[in-house]
Structure 1
């Protein structure tokens, strides 16, 4: 007797159709038999697992005027993301204990359109005992800055804080993620430039040299090796940084790294051309560094790709000084499309590697059970991409709060036409649909 499904995604071409019951994948069979409440014809589309974006700043509660769960997750949904991991800083209060975890969970409830997990914070101000408290709440790990975070509520971790925090995280079985730039190098170079009146974008780029990133990665790797902590290096901007991680992993260190679309698509010349909308830390690098980063990614040394979606009001991007402008690039809605165009279509990145980088690897590394891998029993989370469609990123089509994307005007091949969360369509042709149904997830 044929089974009745809530949803069937028809794929054709010998690929298995997807049968969904109660939000879970119930069958993966070519030419699936049985009726369904809804059928989606995806025979001309790529059916991909919903993106798991391990690095977003939704800034809620406290700075929802910068983004917020409602607008940020709408953008994520329209771009093919079904699960996001929110960073602990920029919210007020930052996620440093059980009470702040509960406040963030309350802010997401009823408005998040994708599932959301949370990072906890590792700062000098927080007692290490609070890491146990955060672990009990279900954070995926602990985020630390090795240079100034940009907000006063979230202090950079000094070496002792980082070392002892890694030791505690190792005992808890949770990873520590680090923003790896040497504060000594970057802060002194920035102060020197500002004092001399050198505040253009070129001066900002020069104040955060590659060596500042490499030194901090080396130091974090040493601490991880000493403590046995699982380490994750966020937004690596250079091939040399990825190489350090790969070499340490070969020596037995439990370490992964991510990079971001802006480091793969834009370069230092773009930063000068675009201005503050392309300011980030680490900064955009010269084209030779971009090419080296791609080489490492195509070689398999980059573990995952995340957006580091970090928006701000337009006023924080204005002014004559590149140093004074907020450093963050919004990218919630463009991750999958950028990586399909620049990776798959232009550089021959394999579909299996795209799925690993954007879904399976982040879900696996951060304990998000049932996410990222389309297997029977997993959540029925999918992004349907039209590989033949060309489109131009337009500000009016973006769904994040301020829509200040440095990718505006870029024409891309490959467009996300439908996003499905637990068997229900949450975005269709660039518009969110239905009521918000995102949940706050705990690490499994």
Structure 2
């Protein structure tokens, strides 16, 4: 670690840091080297001691608890007794953002001098609005405060920054915003959880996820269920996390309270969701919910399939993918999307179609938008990179709903992206335990439907982009900007702009890698992408100006925040 620059007549402040234990600070002065106190104090109002939870201060030295203070003495500790420099000068006070060693204060004989709290990120391929160019992004307090371009990038004075990260020819772009992730905590943490889902996201260059209201237990369909979910997610998120609420029959009175408590919008199903505690809504349920939400800026997300008795009840081979595909024909999506368009035009509530798989429905969507419907639509990486013709027999890791369709359909989805008819691309990360995939029998008709991919979205999309001529600016638009807008985060996420959160991914668009089970960070490793080779290697992920992942090494302590509609927590 390079020393922080302190502009004084003394040489420098060198800092030895054990992550999470900010002690052992050294000051090199005129005569000799002296070491500060090695004691660290951990204090709080809710410390769990033997038989009690109370205000306390735990004093630690050499990795052991050496003292426990309680009561009024907690507030009376002398901070100079901890990690203190024992010289005739007063003290060294240190402000640390984990992974970003800046903001050091030195109090000497005459005055207080502060090192810069600014960090610079520069490179020759920075994805800005409408361009990819040489740029330097200046970050302070987690926000972008300045963007330099042209010759000024090479002329910066590195002593004006506590740290300069030079990406060279690697790409610097906004962190991916994945607005469709199933984390499943609480209740189904054997499927996934916040710790594993968000660590996988971070390693893949995603800095924000929005968690779906199912398949956790309880489903997020009430204020109390939301409060439970927030409790379980605390201190487990490596990236920033927002939350969708759910619309189910007879919960319309819960919608505004959930909205006021911070959900970013609501999701509903027009067909059985796969779990009984998140039932599908009827037209009358939708009417009741839309009536309540029409005076808000909330968005309603639709799983747009309807059971219209049009799927075949096949007696075909259950291990054959064709058998499953015929049970979920495109007409099921088309009929559901007709209803979504009707509701959107009638109530003028923002509506969003999740995981579109059938390109046949695009004309309906285009026409509704032409008529003024506030309607958006997403598709998923698996629909753009996998096709029905190449799915092996019994390979149930490929099963999802709606299903992966033909290569011809896939080409039409890409054309929909090119024409702007499809607004964004997401993972729909929906893992489960291996036994639910029925790998032993290979039965597509009984296996759980869901694909795990939150770690690999950027590389999956970029690999396909090479074949279809999509640019880095297209990647940012479809994976970052538009997904942030959907979740109501478009004023702070999804772009490199002054005032926005300093969330970046630095990646090499030319290098390739093969996905192996050992590199998968989400809890259950089964994924249809294992063994496949993809282009685009993520090197560094930055959240709020702090490096949370670098060269496959993740920070040990989660630093993500909750992104609530009424403010960040």
1:109-258 matches, within 5 Å, as 109-124=234-249, 126-185=250-309, 189=311, 192-193=313-314, 196=315, 198-200=317-319, 201-258=321-378
Quick one: which of 405, 422, 426 aligns to 1:285?
A: 405
Q: State the SS of the aligned residue for 1:305.
A: strand
Deviation at 1:76, TM superposition (A): 0.5
Contact 2:317 2:323 in 1 (8 A): yes
Moved segments of 4+, more than 4 Å: none
User: Relative to structure 1, is the Cα distance of residues 157 and 271 closer, same or farther in structure 2, using a 3 angstrom cutoff?
Assistant: farther
Counterpart in 2 of 1:62? 187
Q: CA–CA distance in 2 between the matches of 1:37 and 1:185? A: 64
Q: Shift of the alpha carbon at 1:274? A: 6.5
3-state SS of paired residue (2:416): helix
Match of 1:372 in 2: 494
| Residue of structure 2 in register with 1:8 after alignment | 120
Question: For 2:363 and 2:524, how far apart are their aligned partners in 1?
Answer: 35
Is 2:561 aligned against 1:436?
Answer: no
Separation (CA, whole Å) in 2 of partners of 1:250 and 1:166:
21
Q: 1:148 to 1:272 in 2, by over 3 A?
A: farther
Q: TM-score, normalised by structure 2?
A: 0.74
Describe the SS at the equivalent of 1:249: helix
Q: SS of 2:172's equivalent?
A: strand
Q: Measure, in 1, the Cα distance between the counterparts of 2:292 and 2:362.
A: 26
Match of 1:405 among 527, 546, 551: 527
- From 388, 407, 421, the equivalent of 1:301 is 421
Residue 321 of structure 1 corresponds to which residue in structure 2? 443
Q: Does the 8 Å CA contact 2:180/2:211 hold for their aligned counterparts?
A: yes
* Equivalent position to 2:481, from 360, 370, 391: 360
CA distance in 1, matches of 2:117, 2:366: 44
Give the Cα–Cα distance (whole angstroms) in 2 for the partners of residues 39 and 434 of structure 1: 23
Is 1:383 aligned to residue 495 of structure 2? no
What SS class does the counterpart of residue 219 from structure 2 fall into?
Answer: coil
Distance 1:357 1:167 in 2: 31
Runs of 5+ consecutive residues of structure 2 not aligned to the other structure: 1-6, 8-114, 126-132
Q: Distance in 2 between matches of 1:387 and 1:19?
A: 23
Q: Which one is further off, 348-357 or 70-79?
A: 348-357
Residue 207 of structure 2 corresponds to which residue in structure 1? Answer: 82
Contact 1:70 1:113 (C-alpha < 8 Å) held by counterparts: yes
1:336 equivalenced with 2:461 (yes/no): no
Residue 44 of structure 1 corresponds to which residue in structure 2?
169
How far, CA to CA, are the matches of 2:422 and 2:175 in structure 1? 19
Q: Return the offset for 1:245.
A: 1.5
Is the Cα contact below 8 Å between 1:274 and 1:406 reproduced in 2? no
Superimposed CA distance per residue, residues 393-422 of structure 1 (whole angstroms, 9 cap, x where no aligned partner): 111111000111111111112111111100
Greater shift after overlay, 294-303 or 308-317? 294-303
> Retained in 2: the 8 A contact 1:167–1:229?
no
Distance in 2 separating the partners of 1:217 and 1:300:
18
Residue 265 in 1 paired to residue 385 in 2?
Answer: yes
Secondary structure class of the residue paired with 1:144 = strand
Per-residue CA deviation, residues 156-212 of structure 1 (Å, 9 max, x unaligned), is 1112112221232222220110000112336xx36x33xx47533221110001111
Distance change >3 Å, CA 105–CA 170, structure 1 → 2? same
Distance in 2 of aligned mates of 1:60 and 1:210: 32
Query: Take 2:563 and 2:270, find their aligned partners in 1: how far apart are those partners?
Result: 27
Tell me whether 1:394 sits opposite 2:506 in the alignment: no
The answer (yes or no) to whether the contact 1:236–1:242 under 8 Å persists in 2 is: no
1:149 Cα deviation (Å)?
0.5
Preserved contact between residue 307 and residue 335 of structure 1 (Cα < 8 Å): yes
Structure 1 gap ranges (5+): none
Higher relative strand content: 2
- Find the counterpart in structure 1 of residue 3 from structure 2: none
Is residue 222–residue 251 contact of structure 2 (8 Å, CA) maintained in 1? no
C-alpha RMSD over aligned residues: 1.8
Contact 2:394–2:444, Cα closer than 8 Å, also in 1: no
Q: Greater share of helix residues, 1 or 2?
A: 1
Aligned to 2:70: none
Cα separation, partners in 2 of 1:143 and 1:255, compared to 1, 3 Å? same
In structure 2, relative to structure 1, the CA distance for the partners of 1:438 and 1:376 (3 Å cut) is same
In structure 2, C-alpha distance between the alignment counterparts of 1:415 and 1:394, rounded to whole Å: 14
User: In the comparison of the two structures, how many residue pairs are matched?
Assistant: 437
Q: Which residue of 1 aligns with 2:90?
A: none
Aligned to 1:101: 226
Higher relative contact order (CA 8 A, sep 6+): 1
The answer to whether the 8 A contact 1:199-1:323 is kept is yes
